[in-house]
Amino acid sequence: MTAQAQSQTDAPAAIDASRVAGFESRFVTALNEAAMLQLISLAHRSGLLAQLADGEPVTSSELAAKTELNERYVREWLGGATVAALVEHDPQAMTYRLPLEHAALLTDRGEANLAVFAQYLPLMGQVEDDVLECFRHGGGVPYTRYARFHEVMAEDSGQTVLPVLFDAILPLAPELPARLEQGIDVLDLGCGRGLALMKLAERFPASRFVGYDLSREAIGWATERAARRGLGNLRFEERDLSDFDLTAPAQRYDLVTTFDAIHDQAHPLNLLKGVRRTLRQDGVYLAQDIHASSHHHGDRDHPMGTLLYTLSIMHCMSVSLAQGGEGLGTMWGREKAREYFGKAGFGSIEIHQLPHDIQNDYWVLRP
């Protein structure tokens, strides 16, 4: 090889300046949009958005008084919200208003409060140092390190599960509403704060409900709220489900549910085998879990793919690995789900999507 040919081989690949500029523009936009999510999370938690939901103009002092917050912080938030085009600002009157169109998406005035989801990034950021250590040394981050996780998940399910539980989710198995009215035994695994179970227990007093979750905080919260509401047909239990394939009572339940709970289990296949074991012969397993492909290239067009992979790294995969588990991850996908449901012994496997929920698939499984 000549010296000239060697020089050409060693030369760096040409860089497309237009691609550099395009990605730079995208990156700056992403920084600003991520900052907007932080503003929304703060405003959701502090009550600022709720007070602005009527669309009426207010000054920073008036808004601070209504929310009982510090005026200087409120004023700075309004500045950021103005620049982010979250609120409209009248510089002559020094007033600010949240457009009703924004309020319909960011407060309880609309069908769904998307501000709930803005909490995930700051919440996950709290464990970035822990996750970085896992990149270097393996292992995972335990549930106990995630402050407010079950609180935020309860709000999340309040957007995707609770509003359509009776009208859309239960009818996926057409016989369920009538059977629940008559009285059956129901188990919810990975129940978190148990909001779905409380709603079911109130609606169907003849049925009997049990919820299991690994989190002591979540079970304590759910137990206290269920007692306060007088739900004698509902109980909660703190329980590790890693060996549920062995410990599940045989043919004990008519309906088993999981809501976004399988993918972060330590041993998901053990849990699914336990579900099959504990279902009666005419029982139904209703599973909500993340809509995804089991292959990276299959998720390129997923509308929330980047967020869900990030949540997997920062929580779902990591909490499984912290228990010495499989680390299945949020984006385990339909193909892997079908494989696991089959290995667990389910004979009938149906999959559905609901119009309101781009994030999840809904599976109806029978023995």
DSSP string, 89-126: EETTTTEEE--HHHHHHHSTTSS--GGGGGGHHHHHHT
Sites in the chain below the pLDDT cut of 50: none
pLDDT digits (tens, 9 = 90+) for 163-203: 899 999 999 999 999 999 999 999 999 999 999 999 999 99
DSSP string, 243-307: THHHHSPTT-EEEEEEES-STTSSSHHHHHHHHHHHEEEEEEEEEEEE---SSGGGGTT-TTHHH
Distance CA 340, CA 21 (A): 44
Pairing between β-strand 185-189 and β-strand 208-213 as defined by DSSP bridges:
parallel
The predicted structure's pLDDT at residue 154: 81
- What pTM value is reported for the model? 0.88
**Residue 353: closest CA among 289, 307, 281, 277:** 289
Partners of 24 in beta bridges = none
At 339, is the secondary structure helix, strand, or coil? helix
